[in-house]
Structure 1
Amino acid sequence: MPINLFKLPRLVGALVVAEMNYQEIFLLSLCSRRTYSLVKKANIKVPKLEFRFDDFHGCDKFEVRVVTNTQKWLPVTSLLHVPELKLETILSVRLGLDYVADTNFCLWRKKGGTFRHRMECANEPIAIQKAIQDHLNSIFHYSETNQLYLSMKCKGSLPNITNVGEIEIKHKNVDPQFLTNVLTTYPDHYTISVVSRIVGEIPKESPFFQIQNIQVMFLCGPDYFHNFVGRNMRLDWVVLTDQDLIQVLQKWISNEAYENLVSLSLSIANTINADLIRQTIEFEEYDPNESEKRPADYVIDIPYTNFFNHKYSLKEAFVEIKRITDGKRAFLSVGATHFDLLVDTN
């Protein structure tokens, strides 16, 4: 039985809206100025917004999801940029108070009874993308940074999104110039995950190496961590030599480089000599009789793709090293195909 929200007491109406899922809330906000106002008054907040820019049957798709505190993704809306509207039934939607767009509206039911919707629109992409972000910021009272997913399959310009803090790039290949374009377009970035093969050398002065948190999930070389000046780096398939790692450790210990480093985690494609690397530095092994001298665990909490909270046990697998200039300590684990350097931030 339909409910007229406007005949309910204001508080009850807000409670009804708050029980809706994010798609329903978004669609309700499009119905009229009154429903838009009702949604805003419900004071619904979201933890994080993610904007996804991908390909769908040859057209660019602009999708928005909510990222929960437990790293679940909940749909909000989806927009397909098309050259022209093909369906006879055209709906005009109002985003915020000023922007109006003609759309073909698609609605379908998924297994389990949940539904999805998609708007198809021929409006200028940059304008409607901004209108959608402004609308969502308004109804969800949102001012935090956004996540952005980019697929190299898309043909149009980079999406017109502001306040982007976390970026994921996914496709077979990506070139250094594209990385530069992305990072200059979204200057508020602090984390990037590249799930692509980077073809070509990234210049040492590239803004890529200035990012605070970097994850690269395809084959790369030692220049990635040699040129890094940020805080956290994870390379999931890197080719290097023993000397490359010795150089990293010696520069950190002498404070010649890596002053801002918090963690460096490497999965190594070739085999290294872990004993030789340890012989080049002074370190202290774990003493179970004095376990209180170091934390029991070390947690890395970076929003990398496919890498959520990772906890390391700082026991026998790790040795302790110290920086000469200030006595700051770090914990090192090095094996035939892995290298983890974790700086104590306490």
Structure 2
Amino acid sequence: MPINLHKLSSLVGVIVVSELSDYQEVFLLSLCSYRTKCLVEKAGIKAPKLAFEYGESCGYNELKIRVVTGTRKRLPVTSVLHVSKLMKANLTVKLGHDNQADADFEYYRLRPGKFVNRLKIAIEPMAVQKVSQDYINSIFHYSGSYKLIISTKREGRLPNITNVKDIEIWRLTVDPEFLTNVMTTYPEAQSVFIYSEIVGDIPNESPFFQIPSFRVLSSCGPDYIHNFFGRNLCLDNATFTEQDLIQFLQKWSSNEAYYNLETMMASRHSAIKLGLIQQAINYEEYDPNEPEKRPEYLMFDIPYFRSTPTKYRLRDRNVKEIKRITDGKRGFLYVDFIRFNFVVQQN
């Protein structure tokens, strides 16, 4: 039976609203009136993490707002479709005290039992994006960082979103200019995962290589290894030689580079010749008679992996230990046919 919140006392209304578990319902309720927005804010419903998905629909750019749960599931809140002209405007959306816009509200079935809402708005996208972020922060009491997923192929400015920490790029292709634009637009980014094919060479001095954690799914060269300056690197389809890996390990062990490294993983299509690498570096084998000399495993919180923290087991004959000459810091090497893995103990 529907409940008329306007007929309830403020205290009872807050209790009713606080029981809502659907973030879409919370958002839509906040738009109904000033009173319902106040009830939503007083209910103290909090989002664990928020994400923006910047894609396209019906020939226009669309910004979807999602709540990211602890299991990395993305639950819909709303989306904004930036159209050139409204065919009709069935409501005026008030986003804060001084901001409002005519909009065409849509509520449609995505699949059986799954409905989503969308606002079509024709005013300047950059202004709408910033106001939308502020509004969502307000009703969900959110002050954390955002995840941004970019998939649109349309040209134009990137979303006007602040405090972006994690980025995923799903475009078909990207070039170095686009990646530089992403890095300069979101300088606080700590993690970038690129699913797209990268067309062209990234300059050695590009801010892209300064990202603390990045992963590239498409083909790339050994320069991604040599120029990396961050903490976590994963190359799923790289072209490199054993000499590239030897150079990487030698520079780490002599403290010439990779000062902040935590994990490095690189895969190629052909088998990696571990024997050639072992001939060129100093390492220690695992002694099963003295397992306590090594930690049983190391744990890393790597943003671009779906499940975190990621666990690496070390008490294995196939895991070689390498020490950094200057401070004795311990690194652990494991080669699994076509995959090179190197992790560094942080304490």
In structure 1, what is the equivalent of residue 258 of structure 2?
258
Letter of the 1:66 counterpart: V
Distance 1:180 1:318 in 2: 37
**Which is worse superposed, 44-53 or 151-160?**
151-160
**Which is worse superposed, 216-225 or 289-298?**
289-298
Q: How far did 1:305 drift?
A: 5.9
In structure 2, what is the equivalent of residue 86 of structure 1?
87
Distance 1:16 1:140 in 2: 16
Residue-by-residue CA offset, 1:167-215 (whole Å, 9 max, x unaligned)? 1111221000100111101111111011111111111110000100010
Distance 1:34 1:313 in 2: 55
SS of the residue corresponding to residue 289 of structure 1 reads coil
In structure 1, what is the equivalent of residue 289 of structure 2?
289
Residue-by-residue CA offset, 1:267-296 (whole Å, 9 max, x unaligned)? 123333111101211212222222222222
Matched residues, number: 345
Distance 1:250 1:339 in 2: 15
In structure 1, what is the equivalent of residue 230 of structure 2?
230
In structure 1, what is the equivalent of residue 189 of structure 2?
189
Letter of the 2:172 counterpart: K
Cα gap change, 1:172/1:112 in structure 2, threshold over 3 Å: closer, same or farther?
closer
Q: Is the 8 A contact 2:61 2:152 kept in 1?
A: no
In structure 2, what is the equivalent of residue 215 of structure 1?
215
In structure 2, what is the equivalent of residue 39 of structure 1?
40
Cα gap change, 1:288/1:9 in structure 2, threshold over 3 Å: closer, same or farther?
farther
Segments ≥4 residues shifted beyond 6 Å: none
Q: Is the 8 A contact 1:51 1:64 kept in 2?
A: yes
Letter of the 1:286 counterpart: Y
SS of the residue corresponding to residue 137 of structure 2 reads helix
In structure 2, what is the equivalent of residue 176 of structure 1?
176
Under a length normalisation based on structure 1, what TM-score does the superposition of the two structures give? Answer: 0.95
Distance 2:307 2:174 in 1: 21
Instruction: Supply the RMSD in Å over aligned alpha carbons.
Output: 1.6
Residue-by-residue CA offset, 1:66-97 (whole Å, 9 max, x unaligned)? 1111111110101111111113x521010122
Residue-by-residue CA offset, 1:19-44 (whole Å, 9 max, x unaligned)? 22110111111111111111111111
SS of the residue corresponding to residue 17 of structure 1 reads helix
Cα gap change, 1:111/1:57 in structure 2, threshold over 3 Å: closer, same or farther?
closer
SS of the residue corresponding to residue 218 of structure 2 reads coil
In structure 2, what is the equivalent of residue 113 of structure 1?
113
Letter of the 2:177 counterpart: Q
Are 2:129 and 1:129 aligned?
Answer: yes
Unaligned runs of 5+ in 2: none
Are 2:283 and 1:299 aligned?
Answer: no
Cα gap change, 1:168/1:325 in structure 2, threshold over 3 Å: closer, same or farther?
same
Letter of the 2:78 counterpart: T
Question: How high is the sequence identity, in percent, across the aligned residues?
Answer: 54
Q: How far did 1:318 drift?
A: 1.1
Q: Is the 8 A contact 2:72 2:306 kept in 1?
A: no
In structure 1, what is the equivalent of residue 63 of structure 2?
62
In structure 1, what is the equivalent of residue 330 of structure 2?
329
Letter of the 2:237 counterpart: W
In structure 2, what is the equivalent of residue 340 of structure 1?
341
Q: Is the 8 A contact 1:219 1:238 kept in 2?
A: yes
Distance 1:57 1:238 in 2: 36
Q: Is the 8 A contact 1:167 1:191 kept in 2?
A: yes
Q: How far did 1:112 drift?
A: 4.5
Are 2:77 and 1:76 aligned?
Answer: yes
Q: Is the 8 A contact 1:33 1:97 kept in 2?
A: no
Distance 2:11 2:259 in 1: 53
In structure 2, what is the equivalent of residue 166 of structure 1?
166
Letter of the 1:205 counterpart: E
SS of the residue corresponding to residue 92 of structure 2 reads strand
Under a length normalisation based on structure 2, what TM-score does the superposition of the two structures give? Answer: 0.95
